[in-house]
Amino acid sequence: MLITIPDILNAGELDEVRDLLAKTAWSDGRKTAGPEAAKVKRNEQADLSSRTGATLHTKLNDAIRKNAVFQAAAQPARLSRLLVSRSGVGQGYGTHVDNALMGTGANRLRTDLSFTLFLSEPDEYEGGELTIDWAGMVHSMKLEAGSLLLYPSTSLHRVEPVSSGQRTVCVGWVQSQVRTSEQRDILFDLANLKVSMRSSLPEAAPEHLALSKVIANLRRLWSEV
Ligand code: NI
């Protein structure tokens, strides 16, 4: 599933993030790419190890984690460290697949889902679309600042070259409790059904319990903890 999640950051949070970004140091993005991806990666990455960078990381991480739609769609077991990248004119990221395994020690994870949280408004740059080949279709996406795109890490994807302005995003990866995209989709549909049933059926209706049982039992079958 490809899903867009609006309002991960509200306007106030976005302003705070942008203020912090203005005080952050940047370096060549190829340092954090695998050897194959490094050949096609052309961007800069924010130094999130500084005090300002750590504050920025916490703010972004908290906003993503607390989002209910993100939780329901991704069912995260683990979340990677986040990266904040910017691409100026002529920069982008050629077609690649993300590394299957990332991080070391306690931060080690299998990448089931990738996400991009847009930090620039679409009218601040031209080009720079995130293009994803998924299920035989090509999706080219540019979201509003504060919105997140969640997509399977199994896909080939790229960032089109920026032709004017500057594109800033936060990216990260999820190891899901539910490994396959098909199973996550079913659980996400059922979670949405449960929410919509609340407006049409009384709380005590047996259908609520029946659906809760189905969801719980599918999670028993499909979850890794
Ligand atoms: Ni990628």
151 and 200 in a single domain? The answer is: no
For the cut 80, the answer to whether the pLDDT of residue 73 exceeds it is yes
Cα of 97 from ligand 1 centre, angstroms: 6
Residue that wins the pLDDT comparison between 40 and 213: 213
Q: Which of the four pLDDT bands, split at 50, 70 and 90, describes residue 225?
A: confident
Surrounding residues of ion ligand 1, Cβ less than 5 A: 98
Cα of 95 from ligand 1 centre, angstroms: 8
Say if residues 72 and 191 touch (Cβ distance below 8 Å). yes
> Which residue segment(s) compose the domain that 21 sits in?
3-176
Average pLDDT over residues 66-89: 96
114 and 160 in a single domain? The answer is: yes
Q: Which of the four pLDDT bands, split at 50, 70 and 90, describes residue 169?
A: very high
Taking each helix axis from N to C end, the angle separating 181-200 and 206-222, rounded to the nearest 10 degrees, works out to 170
Domain count, the chain: 2
165 and 61 in a single domain? The answer is: yes
Cα of 37 from ligand 1 centre, angstroms: 8
Average pLDDT over residues 136-141: 93
Cα of 168 from ligand 1 centre, angstroms: 15
Cα of 153 from ligand 1 centre, angstroms: 8
Q: Can you give the pLDDT at residue 127? A: 97
Length in residues, the chain = 225
Cα of 172 from ligand 1 centre, angstroms: 9
For the cut 80, the answer to whether the pLDDT of residue 33 exceeds it is no
43 and 85 in a single domain? The answer is: yes
Say if residues 152 and 113 touch (Cβ distance below 8 Å). yes
138 and 95 in a single domain? The answer is: yes
Q: Which domain-ending residue is among 176, 195, 211?
A: 176
33 and 133 in a single domain? The answer is: yes
CA distance 135 to 116: 19
Cα of 96 from ligand 1 centre, angstroms: 6
